[in-house]
């Protein structure tokens, strides 16, 4: 049976650390942090848990920096989103590589939507 491991990019790790600090004094950040932990467990159980993003909508910087061929997103509280891609490490492990955690404004900018 294949196992799934969730790994954060440097950018996602930075936001995760920020949320950990802010969660002590903000209920919103605490709820986003809890959701990230919960959704990570759901992704471990089912790597294709998230919604697929059309290949034509994948941001160029993800394609260049991470060689992303497929991209998934998962909703988080307060209109935040978690983005991840899948890769295989040999034949026994799937890595769910979390690229970013974005709020709604950052999401619109990255994906080229007008606010």
Supply φ then ψ for residue 66, to 5 degrees: -115, 0
CATH class of 3-110: alpha beta
DSSP code at position 79: G
Q: How many CA atoms lie within 13 A of 86 on its CB side?
A: 20
Q: Tell me the whole-structure pTM to 2 decimals.
A: 0.87
Summarised one tens digit per residue, pLDDT across range 75-112 is 999 999 999 999 876 666 778 899 988 888 888 888 88
In the prediction, which pLDDT does 92 show? 62
DSSP code at position 101: E
Q: What percent of the chain has pLDDT over 70?
A: 94
Give domain limits for the chain: 3-110
Where residue 71 falls among pLDDT bands split at 50, 70, 90?
very high
Other CB atoms within 10 Å distance of the CB of residue 84: 27
Is residue 8 within 8 A of residue 84, CB to CB? The reply is: no
Find the mean pLDDT for residues 21-50.
Answer: 95
């Amino acid at each position: 049976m294949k196992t799934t491991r969730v790994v954060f990019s440097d950018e996602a790790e930075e936001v995760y650390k920020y949320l950990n600090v802010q969660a002590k004094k903000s209920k919103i950040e605490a709820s986003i942090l809890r959701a990230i932990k919960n959704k990570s467990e759901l992704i471990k159980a089912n790597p294709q848990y998230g919604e697929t993003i059309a290949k034509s909508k994948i941001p160029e910087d993800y394609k260049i920096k991470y060689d992303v061929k497929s991209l998934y997103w998962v909703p988080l509280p307060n209109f935040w989103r978690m983005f991840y891609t899948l890769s295989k490490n040999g034949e026994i492990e799937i890595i769910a590589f979390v690229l970013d955690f974005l709020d709604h404004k950052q999401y619109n900018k990255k994906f080229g939507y007008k606010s």
